[in-house]
Structure 1
Amino acid sequence: MTGHPERARLQRRTVTLLFITQILGGVGVAVGVAVGALLLEDLTGTSALAGLGQSSAVIGGAMLAIPIVRVTGSHGRRYGLVLAYGAGVIGALLVTTALYLRSAPLAFVGMFLLGGGTAANLQARYAAADLALPANRARQLSLVVWATTIGAVAGPSLAPLADAALREQLAGPRYAGPFMASAIGFAIAAGILWSFLRPDPLLIARSENGSQSAPKASIAAGLRVARANPTARLGITAVALGHLVMVAVMAMTPIHIKHGLHDPDQVTTIVGIVLSLHIAGMYALSPVAGILADKWGHRQVILTGIGLLLAACATAGTAGHNHTQLAVGLVLLGLGWSCTMVAGSALLTGAVDASQRPGVQGLSDLVMGVAGAFAGAASGFVVEYTGYPVLALLAAIVVLPVTILVLRRRPVNDRPNKEST
């Protein structure tokens, strides 16, 4: 078994590497989020289908969890993360090609594979938890989530610069530049992980638990474990429904802003600012969510997240075209997502041992992705036919069932310091 000082050293090294790559991956993901709906509305001519672009990226990240889980279970975190970022590179290049060819179908395929960047960013939080002690698992996980702040906040604001640079230097089409930036960010992140994420944290955690062989990991195996583990199920549900609410409201905010403005350049700038603030809310205070989850308990932080999500829906839904109020609502939306994501992820990770984690964590990301994909797809149609305020109201209603699950009597072993390592 690895001694405590050596384990601590490996944990610090792992978190440092993940911190760096999360910045790069955050740029890639955030740039795509900032202009994805706008470019698809441009290619398809309707805001209803624009929502399907975000949906394609989310479902892509969810479906890619299936091969990522298998690769991670067999070979470790390094192989799984590189596979995910590689898919993101291909997706970003396909979207760029689609803009040159004016091909909406190819753009949807590209957005699907672009979800690999999201999958990598999400899986990285679990890599940070593999060697963390139970008493500070949520804190360690949240540090990697927080690292995304730098790239994710910068991404939407860099989108206009990347867009202008490609159009001016290479006479490229509008929105192509940001996706080229995504491809570069994902590629560098993959290269760093492939070169330096050694030894692999998941493999070390398995060896400490006395499991030298790699068990067969799959989503189906994760589902079997989750069925028998109510604590893991709560973590999965909190993460998924928090993500659903966030995606539903966030995906259509750029379209809502666009409908109140006429200058395309002004739309890109305001969308960039609002989404940068939203993404700051998602990631900037995630270490606080982690510290509180370790100190207060995961359920209390999940409840806090639910309250923030409800406040966000009320604020954004009543903002009209007041961009300041809309930005406040999007910040609250990000904070609510952060609480449910950090506390829910730490809860389900601590509920199972290291040999079961890839399958259960992959299941969580799959369920989260499907929930987000549904939200992204439905949000476009809701806004098209009923408006943005109704979308915010429906999103608020959806998150309420989580409250019932959280308030159920807490199992004896559902405490941060009692969880399995």
Structure 2
Amino acid sequence: MTTTHAATEIREREQRRIVWVLALATVLGGLGVGASLSAGALLIVDITGAESLSGFGSTMNALGAAIAGIPLARLAAKRGRRVALTTGSAIAVIGAIVIIVASATRTPVALFLGLAVLGVAVAVQLQSRFAATDLAVPSRRARDLSLVVWSITIGAVTGPNLIGPGERIGELLGIPPLAGIFVFTVLAQAVAGLVVWFGLRPDPLLRARAVAAEPAPSGTNPTADPAAGIRATSAAPQFLAIAIVALGHAVMVALMAMTPLHLTHHGGSVTLVGFTISLHIAGMYALSPVFGVLTSRVGPLPVAFGGFAVLGLAALGTGFGGATVWIIQAALVLLGVGWSMVTIAGASLLTSLAPIDVRPKRQGQSDTLMNAAGAAIGAASGVVFAFGGFPLLSIVAGILIALGALAAVRLTVAAQR
């Protein structure tokens, strides 16, 4: 075996270990986030007595994730992914503890603060998917990223089912029953941090920098990178990739956030709402490995175009579905699928476009803008819905889809040049 082959085999073995560690940590972290988000709105109503404030739970969570995106990326650039991800999990533990204390003392301000701090866990999940790409060979970068994204499914589906056991834990500890679920969040985030701290060796970003500094082995095929050919001396293509991810996320949040209200306005039950959102979550994550492989094979831009097309079909469904439940449910599934395609393709594209020295910075900017767009559109969607219902909101979503597709067109033109 030649030295080059031996080095390649070692790198691939390291990458497989990194992906498994990140996937396990994401499952644990997602378990805590899924559990807390499902109870956050209920806890807000219980403490404040105002149903109108229930939506602020997800808003504060997204705001916290947006604020944490760039600092975590800077920490990763200086100290590596292991330190950044572990630090983020530790901060999320503090957020969950603040929520428990706020619930026990019935302090609304502290509760909202705790939910925002807990949002750092979402930023950790987003950084983890990028960490899976650091040491991956270009042709497998999207696949490895999608495997970590897929692992979020377990927490997203299992978390809400912990409300019942959490209430019993709360009663045993003498805290409000709804706050008991955040005990699981504390444990899950703590274990996730420990998994990363002890398991993420070598650090993927630091190892990737060392590999980048080595001379390229003979026989290397640069076109194996799906984004090869879109290189530019300026950062403009990188920011176009960031815009693609942010716009796709904004479309998803805008339509998903108002679905429960739309269904209940047409006589839908709480059970129907929960089932519909579950279908949407399945659309978001279940097929992510498929889109990762597809991105590796045909390139990120075709997959991004396809994602915006699917989002367009979803907007048509919500715009014209009216009281027909199955159309709304189909639209929500398509909304999740389109989001998955755009997010995986966009994240893979950004990683390929950004040089290794600025990659963490651009990834942090992407996460921040993505979450900020979600928080902003989530707050604005209620106002738009109040004026024109799902039809008007779907038109707004259509405009965002057109802007995202335009960004993909500009990148396609850059690649052809």
Fold in common (TM above 0.5): yes
- Indicate the residue corresponding to 1:235 in structure 2: 241
CA contact (8 A) 2:37 2:57 kept: no
Q: Secondary structure at the match of 1:408?
A: helix
Question: Could you tell me which amino acid in structure 1 is paired with residue 154 of structure 2?
Answer: I
Q: Percent identity?
A: 42
- Determine whether 1:208 maps to 2:211: yes
- Indicate the residue corresponding to 1:311 in structure 2: 313
Flag structure 1 segments of 5+ consecutive residues without an equivalent: 212-224, 416-421
- Indicate the residue corresponding to 2:124 in structure 1: 120
1:250-289 correspondence to structure 2 within 5 Å: 250-256=256-262, 267=270, 270-289=272-291
Shift of 1:200: 0.3
CA contact (8 A) 1:278 1:334 kept: yes
Q: Secondary structure at the match of 2:412?
A: coil
Question: Could you tell me which amino acid in structure 2 is paired with residue 8 of structure 1?
Answer: E
- Indicate the residue corresponding to 2:55 in structure 1: 51
CA pair 160-63 structure 1, distance change in 2 beyond 3 A: same
1:61-140 correspondence to structure 2 within 5 Å: 61-140=65-144
Shift of 1:303: 1.2
Question: Could you tell me which amino acid in structure 1 is paired with residue 279 of structure 2?
Answer: L
1:191-250 per-position Cα deviation (integer Å, ceiling 9, x unaligned): 111111111010011011229xxxxxxxxxxxxx99923331221011111111122223
CA contact (8 A) 2:150 2:287 kept: yes
- Indicate the residue corresponding to 1:215 in structure 2: none
Aligned alpha-carbon RMSD (Å): 2.9
- Looking at structure 2, the residues matched to 227 and 178 of structure 1 have their Cα atoms a distance apart, in angstroms, of 49
- Indicate the residue corresponding to 1:327 in structure 2: 329
1:337-373 per-position Cα deviation (integer Å, ceiling 9, x unaligned): 1111100000010012222111111111111121111
- Indicate the residue corresponding to 2:186 in structure 1: 183
- Determine whether 1:146 maps to 2:150: yes
Equivalences, count: 397
CA contact (8 A) 2:171 2:180 kept: no
Question: Could you tell me which amino acid in structure 2 is paired with residue 243 of structure 1?
Answer: H
Question: Could you tell me which amino acid in structure 2 is paired with residue 410 of structure 1?
Answer: T
- Looking at structure 2, the residues matched to 184 and 322 of structure 1 have their Cα atoms a distance apart, in angstroms, of 42
Shift of 1:328: 2.8
- Looking at structure 2, the residues matched to 412 and 62 of structure 1 have their Cα atoms a distance apart, in angstroms, of 29
Q: Secondary structure at the match of 1:129?
A: coil
Choose between structure 1 and 2 for higher RCO, CA contacts under 8 A separated by at least 6 residues.
Answer: 1
- Structure 1 or 2, whichever has the larger Rg, is 2
CA contact (8 A) 1:298 1:344 kept: yes
- Looking at structure 2, the residues matched to 414 and 185 of structure 1 have their Cα atoms a distance apart, in angstroms, of 47
- Indicate the residue corresponding to 1:407 in structure 2: 409
Shift of 1:284: 1.1
- Indicate the residue corresponding to 2:202 in structure 1: 199
Question: Could you tell me which amino acid in structure 2 is paired with residue 249 of structure 1?
Answer: L
- Looking at structure 2, the residues matched to 226 and 181 of structure 1 have their Cα atoms a distance apart, in angstroms, of 46
- Looking at structure 1, the residues matched to 175 and 327 of structure 2 have their Cα atoms a distance apart, in angstroms, of 35
CA contact (8 A) 2:166 2:184 kept: no
- Looking at structure 2, the residues matched to 202 and 386 of structure 1 have their Cα atoms a distance apart, in angstroms, of 47
Shift of 1:409: 6.4
Question: Could you tell me which amino acid in structure 1 is paired with residue 101 of structure 2?
Answer: T
- Indicate the residue corresponding to 2:251 in structure 1: 245
CA pair 397-70 structure 1, distance change in 2 beyond 3 A: same
- Looking at structure 2, the residues matched to 394 and 45 of structure 1 have their Cα atoms a distance apart, in angstroms, of 32
CA pair 36-246 structure 1, distance change in 2 beyond 3 A: farther
CA contact (8 A) 2:70 2:361 kept: no
Shift of 1:31: 2.4
- Looking at structure 2, the residues matched to 104 and 244 of structure 1 have their Cα atoms a distance apart, in angstroms, of 28
CA contact (8 A) 2:170 2:181 kept: no
CA pair 311-32 structure 1, distance change in 2 beyond 3 A: farther
Q: Secondary structure at the match of 1:175?
A: helix
- Looking at structure 1, the residues matched to 171 and 315 of structure 2 have their Cα atoms a distance apart, in angstroms, of 39
1:282-337 per-position Cα deviation (integer Å, ceiling 9, x unaligned): 11111111111112221111111112222223334555566554433322221111
CA pair 258-34 structure 1, distance change in 2 beyond 3 A: farther
- Looking at structure 1, the residues matched to 394 and 375 of structure 2 have their Cα atoms a distance apart, in angstroms, of 16
Question: Could you tell me which amino acid in structure 1 is paired with residue 197 of structure 2?
Answer: W
CA contact (8 A) 1:231 1:347 kept: no
Flag structure 2 segments of 5+ consecutive residues without an equivalent: 215-230
Q: Secondary structure at the match of 2:213?
A: coil
CA pair 28-82 structure 1, distance change in 2 beyond 3 A: same
- Indicate the residue corresponding to 1:418 in structure 2: none
1:24-43 correspondence to structure 2 within 5 Å: 24-43=28-47
CA contact (8 A) 1:278 1:333 kept: yes
1:137-171 per-position Cα deviation (integer Å, ceiling 9, x unaligned): 11111111111112222223x14424543465456
